[in-house]
Amino acid sequence: MANIGYIQMVRHCNQNCGFCSNPETPFFHNLEQIHQIVDDFVSRDYFGVIMTGGEPTLSPILPEAIAHARANGLHVRMITNGQKLADWDYCKSLADAGLQHVHVSIHSHKHKLEDFLTGTPGSLDWAEKALTNLGKTNITVNINTVINRYNCDHLHENIEWFIQNFPFIRHFVWNNLDPSIGRATSNQYFTARLQDIEVSLSKAMRMLAETGRSFRVERVPLCYMTEFAHCSTETRKIVKSEERIVHFLDNKGTVRQTEWGHLYADVCNVCSLRSICGGLFDRGNAYDPNELSPIFSDPKPIIQRIVQDLQSDPAWRMAKFKNLAAIPAAHQGKSGAQQSVTGGEVSRPGKVQAPTGERLTEMAMDPKRKTDHTARDWTPETAGWHPSDDEDDVDTGLVVPPEPVAIGRVPASRLEVRSGQE
Ligand code: SF4
């Protein structure tokens, strides 16, 4: 399996994103602990490791940690806000240590909005310098974007901007906001409705596909990305039977996730994609099951497409998926393990493994730091950013592809109107 593990290097950060899923704690991993974790990933035959945080570049042992993981055969990646990589010498030092791939988190190409989202004036300027520096190394670069209420209307404009300014970036990752953990639990106003995401996300995905780029989307149900269902992170994990281990620097401890379904509504029970769909991410009760609509199309082409992608993925051992027949029957368009509906609205399959607090290794602690999950006491309005504030909008001259047509989808709202008329 092409499994990838995560190590939180530190939990403090040089940004203050309002929806941060892993805000500050006093803990960090020292080099001895990193060695233990890396050895464990290697013994499990994991393909790679992602150094994350907090902001991993604030860990003084990051270069040594990268070198150790690389020397032990792991593909070494990092998720970063890019602030420190704006320094060329530092950027180069990580490349020299063996870093192979970086996910830079950027949520909007609009400077003022990005300042607001990251709680850090000038954050986009630093991130741009980081991308320029990374472009001079042999480290490959992805962009990670958290979909939220304030950027969900211009995800496609972000993509135009990246294509125009950083054409070497070939892969993008969208994570729909997780409203159930970290700072987002206090700042619920960041959560977008699925309906508000759909149009811009569809345009953005089309644009990437038409320019030969790739992408993944996490925590968006397949009924909101039917045309690109094969790019759903959950769907790919389900089809490939992948897992991931995260070493958190908080009371969650070491979490191994082997199941990728979230919550399912009544309508999911008649949906043909139920067995390969992650459903509604609703651990924070922020997303509305009434926004889901069943799909009535064959899931096999989606599965076949994922299998085809594996053939060009050097990380994947092809033996298991040489043809569609090798895919577990549960993923071949059969109903799969349908969950009973409880509470009248959503079923709770219990697939996401609850953190137990157990951990592979101890955490070190910095007494100068404390846990900070507090809400931000400022809003877009008090921060001086307003949705009509478009001075940073850039006309890149690229043509936005037409809106894609959803396949086999009947919006629940339309069904409701019809039944009312009848
Ligand atoms: S209706 Fe349910 S199972 Fe079908 S695509 Fe939407 S969330 Fe997934």
Contact call for residues 155 and 196 (beta carbons, < 8 A): no
Which atom from ligand 1 is nearest to the alpha carbon of 294?
1
Kindly report whether the peptide bond that precedes residue 278 is cis, defined as omega within 30 degrees of 0: no
Ligand 1, atom 2: closest residue by C-alpha: 268
Distance 194 CA to ligand 1 centre (A): 12
Which atom from ligand 1 is nearest to the alpha carbon of 295?
4
Q: Does the pLDDT of residue 84 top 60, yes or no?
A: yes
Can you say whether the dihedral through the CA atoms of 265, 266, 267, 271 is positive or negative?
positive
Q: How far apart are CA 368 and CA 329, in angstroms?
A: 53
Q: Does the pLDDT of residue 40 top 70, yes or no?
A: yes
Which atom from ligand 1 is nearest to the alpha carbon of 279?
7
At 385 the pLDDT is 58
Q: Does the pLDDT of residue 237 top 60, yes or no?
A: yes
Please give the mean pLDDT across all residues of the chain.
Answer: 81
5: confidence class by pLDDT, cuts 50, 70, 90: very high
Q: Is 292 in the pocket of ligand 1 (CB under 6 A)?
A: yes
Q: Is 208 in the pocket of ligand 1 (CB under 6 A)?
A: no
In the predicted model, what is the mean pLDDT of residues 137-161? 97
Q: Is 273 in the pocket of ligand 1 (CB under 6 A)?
A: yes
Measured in whole angstroms, how far is the alpha carbon of residue 353 from the centre of its chain? 18
In the predicted model, what is the mean pLDDT of residues 301-320? 72
Does CATH place domain 4-416 in 3.20.20.70? yes
Which atom from ligand 1 is nearest to the alpha carbon of 280?
7
Q: Is 249 in the pocket of ligand 1 (CB under 6 A)?
A: no
Pocket perturbation via mutation, ligand 1, pick of 263, 266, 269, 271 by most ligand atoms within 8 A of CB: 271
Mean pLDDT lowest among 95-99, 243-247, 322-326, 364-368: 322-326
Pocket perturbation via mutation, ligand 1, pick of 217, 227, 269, 277 by most ligand atoms within 8 A of CB: 277
Ligand 1, atom 1: closest residue by C-alpha: 294
In the predicted model, what is the mean pLDDT of residues 205-231? 96
Distance 271 CA to ligand 1 centre (A): 6
Distance 252 CA to ligand 1 centre (A): 29
At 90 the pLDDT is 98
At 408 the pLDDT is 33
In the predicted model, what is the mean pLDDT of residues 249-259? 87
Higher pLDDT, 375 or 125: 125
Which atom from ligand 1 is nearest to the alpha carbon of 278?
8
As a whole-number percent, the residues of the chain with pLDDT over 70 amount to: 76
